[in-house]
Chain A
Amino acid sequence: MKLWMSMCYDFTGLHECLATSWFGLVFIGLGGFYDVIGLETVNLIWQHWTPCCVQCTPFILQVRMDRKQDCVKLSVQPSRGLMDEKFIVLVQNVPPCCALTVRAFNQCDKGNKWEAYGHYTADATGTMNVAEDFSLGGTYSGIEPMGLLWSLRPVQGSKLGQRLVKKNTQTPMEVTISVYQGHQTEGFMNQVPLACAVVERWYTTPGVRRIPITEEGLDAVLFLPPGPGRFPGVLDLWGAGTIFVEYRSAMLASHGFASLTLNYLKPKVTLETGKMVDNEYFERAYTFLQKHPAVLSDRIAMLGNCFGSNLIVKMACYFEVVKLRCAVCINATHVQPVGGTLEDTVNHLQDRRSKAYLNEEEQVIWRGLLLPIMTDPSTKLDMGRLQCPLLLVVGEDDQNMPSYESAMDMQKMMEQAGNSHLLTVLSYPNTGHVIEPPYMPHTRASGFRVPKTNEIYMTLWGGETVAHCHAQEDAWKNILAFLREHLFTDRKIVSHL
């Protein structure tokens, strides 16, 4: 529908609206009211040519536009960035020293609405730079270049316990950044911003290939970087209790690693037979990656978090066929049955359920299930068997797993066994269980689906938002550097002095 609309405003509040469209309708409003076909129709027309303002309501027609107002300039660089890239939000041409609110808005794939905002004061030249200036309050405060993303939270009235998760890695996350006058905290949907910009955040660089894998009975997705290859490979294992996601592997491929994200909790075979996968499933996944024509067979690593990282520690220590250049484990524990299958490990936790408890907010804290960590070697994996470099990323406020205690115990075991030179521990205070790639919002608690029983519990993951989000950024940087060091170079790890 082609539409050419012209509106005139004056200062007295008398609005005259003259509009024509291809179907020849003309409507004129006087005295601030619109004698129109219907406000819904006009709103529809407005929405057509201001598609970015889909949240506009009929109220928008009654907003006065001050003709003398300078046009505010908002720019976000880069406008199309990767999910782990920083951006710069620059506001120019506002009145000097005026109060501003910068807001980020996203409607996720599930339809949930998320927002974040910061309160700022422009400088004497009428400029404000989120990357350099101080937020006086909002969903984040202080100098936080990426606060508009990591402090995203469900808008008022949303369902509790949501996590911002993007399943589709082939499309970008679209975030609308807007600037408002004054320090606002609510009602953004009913206001016209001074300016807005749309930013795309991508999980993949152009040319990254996504290949669903069903060979050898696997349920997985392979991401390959662009180019002829061959590439080092990473087997990527997520934790339990969430839907199967692939975005971390997509990001690894954007950094030059062939990455295979494996669905091991609810793969097709488990859905069909009701039986959990055996150890051989993981060996097949490893071998598939290792033998893939685009992958360098002697440059394989594993990266996992939570339950996935527990499996990685086991595989690295015990699976003969698995030969790793390195492993990265986020909030892992070595306290698990030695030998046995995935199901044995799940049962091991189930048997200790009575040690879980509720906090005042009725959120479940699971970390006690595996505590205290015994000295008895039969209760845990033998870390002395580890032969590859291991990076342990630990959130010290992990309320789901005893990650800190486990990391300390693993370190002790390796010191005793003489292989502690392989271990690097990155331990972050006030950081919770779910350590994601950077700039994703922190989820302190959310619904957790227990494997096998499928019951859902509101679970406390832990972490204090600011510290947790800073930790995510630092951890990801270190994880990438660690993987690059061990997968792209041939430098050998020497014993520590």
Chain B
Amino acid sequence: MRKAQASWEKRVLKSLNSMSSELGVPLARMRPAAEQKEITNKWNEMGTDEPDLSRFRPVYAPKDFLEVLISLQNPNYDSSEAVSSRSHWGLIHSPLNVRDIPQLRRSFSELNLTTGQLGIDDHAHIHPDLFESDYVQIGKKVVEDQDSAAAQQYSRRGCPTGLRADLWALILNSTNQPQDVMHYEQLKAGVIQHDLLVDKLIYKDVKLTASNDDYYFVFEDFLYQVLLCFSRDTAVLEHFKYNSATPPKAYVQGKVDDEECAVVYPPNGVIPFHGFSMYVAPLCYLYNEPSKLYSVFREMYIRFFFRLHSISSSPSGIVSLCLQFERLIQTHLPQLFYHLRQIGAQPLRIAFKWMVRAFSGYLSTDQLLLLWDRILGYDSLEIVAVLAAAVFAFRAENLMEVTSLASAEAVLADLSTLKVIPLIQIFLFATAI
């Protein structure tokens, strides 16, 4: 897996290098003074800028990454048998240990049918005294006590909208002290001083994804402010200690052998891909102060989101999530899986883009935030794979009738009306096994 990650990184970096040389744009340069002044003046309205980005294209898209994951093969794995107890119907061939429904039931026990949940029991026609008012009271107490562990446990059943911002900040240990604000200002100074090619990629990504989304286009300026600063944050380099990826290395002014001139490019070591800005967009609903928004996003990235685009054997890593998704469908919806495979519509090809973005941009925002509550509460991304399988289970009848990949994608194109928690609950706790 390390080898696969290393070769994937090399491909990405080669592509970035060639983009830089083809377009004649340096990877990084100091901005001239006039430009620095301009950026400072336009800091709060960078969305109004319309630079010519037509020549830029994203370095890679999720489907390219999926091809790499599909090609992951363990040389010691015996895949010669045509028929075996492990099904070869799926796309992922890495034999990682993933949990099945009985084990998931035990670990996601707070989501079971007999426990009150936000997302189900706060529905308009249920009297608030039955569950919601008490639950909100408990939430207020947790925020008052500033208890991080309690906040995490509380989040498993959902966070009330009014308390979510504080609860998430508690769970992520993200503060907004003067030193955090100062750190953000320092990053902003980094943006003003130096211009990176990665900035253009970020611009392009925001224009292509968040700006076109009905729910997130209003936050375009925030997204630039957060993502451009994120690229300059060397504190993010700490997460490479537990990430299978390696930050790209470059040499300043072409001095290739001079170790003193070795730097990381971009400074945070993370090259954004198509859809990256969607990791930040939902958070804009919770925080309106850029430094606080930035702090929460950075924590979420270094705890969870990095696992969605790097190859590792972690149970929350994207390879395990894909395998878990495929196994869940094969085990509990075998007819559906077989049918889709026959028509050339492998379920993972449709669900992959949902999982890589943790469903951001596919669900409506309130539902997405309820899902991310559980990700924080359980400190694991497995719930994303469970939801993906639950969506297929929900639309199974329609999917059994389709006859091509295009129509299967059409059936699953619009997830914005889905209610996430009932789907997960039914799939985990009401499926006969």
Does A pair with B? no
Interface positions of B (Cβ within 8 A of A): none
